[in-house]
């Protein structure tokens, strides 16, 4: 019997992906070994039954149609806005993702950004490295406390809840908005109060985004929303870049409409709005929300096992459906 083909768009961390797969059953291809200028061309050449993709791989109709044998696309990410899931659904192609395993790592990064912005960590570090530290001073890099501050979480799914849990440990009060109110016990565990987005924007000292990206929430946070926020509000985005109008953010940071921002994701990733680069009140990380050795290995296992399940005729665990 002809072996089914799996195309990895990139090698994954953890154990070597080649050793992880049963070679009697599958033929493994790595995109960088395949000739072709675009992913579409490579997909066309291999005609895989399974693709293991990164969040930076745009899997659109053209790519999908280039592989008539395609049965499954396993995204090495929890977010899947890089894949035309509706089209896959129409064609009966499974899409899987990697939820849960990256929840804690991503929540840690959101808290890290809150602390880095509020305690001016990057500027302070640069100050020391450039030889400017001449001794302790009462006004030296004074930032903001987290204790008794209000954290507004937009998107109270797994990651939002994990951020809330951490925020409670810092003595913060949590309010949130979400498509639906979360279950009472979950709210209670983090003492979170459900509010409408307008109230959240108005009252929060820190606002952290944890919702999936869809075109409906493009620029959810823009000029109008910065106008509603407190003057000393801090915006954190570890979800997806296009949720925030980066130009408007830049203007809000320059004009002092808000205090600061911490970003791990960008509107036109990997490009970053030029104006942001020169600002001291924004911390910029290179999309490292899930970047721990442990998490990335677990993501690899999950993505691979989702793909193998489908190709072996079973229903995978983490099926993604169109919104
Ligand atoms: C995801 O999995 O969607 C994250 O953005 C990766 O860090």
**Alpha-carbon separation of residue 301 from 76, 198, 262, 306 (angstroms):** 9, 40, 30, 8
Nearest CA to ligand 1 atom 4: 77
Residue 276 sits in the same domain as residue 300: no
316: in domain: no
Query: E strand or H helix at 28, and its extent?
Result: strand 26-30
Closest ligand 1 atom number to CA of residue 290: 7
Active-site positions read: 240, 269, 287
Q: Are residues 119 and 265 in the same domain?
A: yes
222 and 270, same structural domain? yes
Asked if 250 and 304 sit in the same domain, the reply is no
Question: What's the structural domain count of the chain?
Answer: 2
Do the Cβ atoms of 302 and 98 come closer than 8 Å?
yes
Pair 113, 96 in one domain: no
Task: Output the CA 297–ligand 1 centroid distance in Å.
Answer: 13
Q: Is the CB of 258 under 6 A from ligand 1?
A: no
Residues 90 and 233 in one domain: no
Spans of the chain below 50 pLDDT: none
Tally of helices (H runs) and strands (E runs) in the chain: 12, 12
Residue 78 CB less than 6 A away from ligand 1: yes
Tell whether 145 and 280 lie within a shared domain: yes
Q: Using a 6 Å cutoff on CB, does residue 157 contact ligand 1? A: no
How remote is the CA of residue 109 from the centroid of ligand 1, in Å?
A: 12
Q: Are residues 122 and 239 in the same domain?
A: yes
User: Does any domain span residue 21?
Assistant: yes
Per-residue b or e along 275-299, where b marks 16 or more CB atoms closer than 10 Å to that residue's CB: ebeebebbbbbebebbbbeebbebb
Q: Give the distance (Å) from ligand 1 centre to CA of residue 273.
A: 20
Answer whether 79 contacts ligand 1 (Cβ < 6 A): yes
Q: Give the other-Cβ count within 10 Å of 194's Cβ.
A: 15
Domain containing residue 217: CATH number: 3.40.50.720
Contact 77 CB / ligand 1 (< 6 Å) = yes
- Identify whether 317 is part of a domain: no
How far apart CA 306 and CA 98 sit, in angstroms, is 9
**Structure token pair of residue 195:** 């509010």
Whether residues 246 and 115 share a domain: the answer is yes
- 115 and 126 part of one domain: yes
- Residue to mutate, 52, 79, 100, 209, ligand 1, most ligand atoms under 8 Å from C-beta: 79
User: Could you tell me if residue 321 is inside a domain?
Assistant: no
Ligand 1 near 55 CB (within 6 A): yes
d(C-alpha 72, C-alpha 95), whole Å:
6
Instruction: Give the C-alpha separation, 164 to 78, whole Å.
Output: 19
Structural domain span for residue 29: 4-101+294-311
Same domain? 255 vs 117: yes
Q: Evaluate whether residue 185 is within a structural domain.
A: yes
Is 278 within the bounds of a domain? yes
The protein residue whose alpha carbon is closest to atom 3 in ligand 1 is 79
Mutate-to-test residue for ligand 1 from 77, 105, 288, highest number of ligand atoms within 8 A of CB: 77
Ligand 1, closest atom to CA 240? 5
Instruction: For residue 318, tell me if it sits in a domain.
Output: no
Pocket flag, ligand 1, residue 159 (CB < 6 Å): no
What is the reported pLDDT for 323? 78
Is 76 domain-assigned? yes
Q: Is 118 found in the same domain as 225?
A: yes
Residue 50 Cβ < 6 Å to ligand 1: no
CB half-sphere exposure, 267, CA atoms < 13 A: 19
């Amino acid at each position: 019997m002809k072996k089914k083909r799996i195309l990895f768009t990139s090698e994954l961390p953890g154990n070597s992906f080649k050793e992880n797969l049963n070679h009697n059953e599958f033929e493994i291809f790595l995109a960088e070994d395949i000739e072709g200028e675009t992913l579409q061309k490579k997909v066309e050449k291999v005609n895989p039954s399974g693709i293991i993709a990164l969040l930076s791989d745009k899997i659109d109709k053209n790519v999908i149609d280039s592989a008539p044998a395609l049965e499954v696309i396993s995204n090495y990410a929890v977010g899947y806005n890089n894949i035309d899931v509706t089209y896959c659904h129409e064609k009966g192609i499974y899409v899987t993702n990697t939820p849960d395993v990256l929840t804690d790592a991503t929540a840690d990064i959101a808290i890290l950004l809150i602390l880095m912005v509020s305690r001016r960590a990057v500027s302070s570090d640069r100050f020391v490295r450039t030889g400017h530290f001449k001794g302790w001073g009462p006004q030296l890099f004074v930032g903001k406390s987290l204790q008794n501050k209000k954290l507004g979480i937009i998107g109270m799914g797994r990651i939002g809840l994990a951020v809330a849990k951490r925020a409670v440990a810092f003595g913060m009060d949590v309010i949130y908005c979400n498509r639906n109110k979360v279950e009472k016990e979950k709210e209670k565990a983090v003492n979170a109060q459900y509010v409408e987005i307008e109230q959240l924007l108005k009252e929060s000292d820190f606002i952290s985004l944890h919702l999936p990206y869809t075109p409906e929430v493009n620029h959810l946070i823009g000029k109008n929303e910065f106008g509603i926020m407190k003057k000393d509000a801090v915006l954190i985005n570890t979800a997806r870049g296009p949720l925030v109008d980066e130009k408007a953010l830049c203007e809000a940071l320059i004009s002092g409409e808000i205090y600061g921002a911490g970003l791990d994701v960008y509107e036109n990733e990997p490009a970053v709005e030029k104006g942001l680069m020169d600002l001291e009140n924004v911390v910029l990380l290179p999309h490292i929300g899930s970047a721990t050795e442990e998490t990335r290995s677990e993501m690899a296992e999950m993505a691979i096992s989702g793909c193998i399940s489908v190709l072996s005729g079973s229903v995978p665990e983490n099926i993604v459906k169109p919104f």
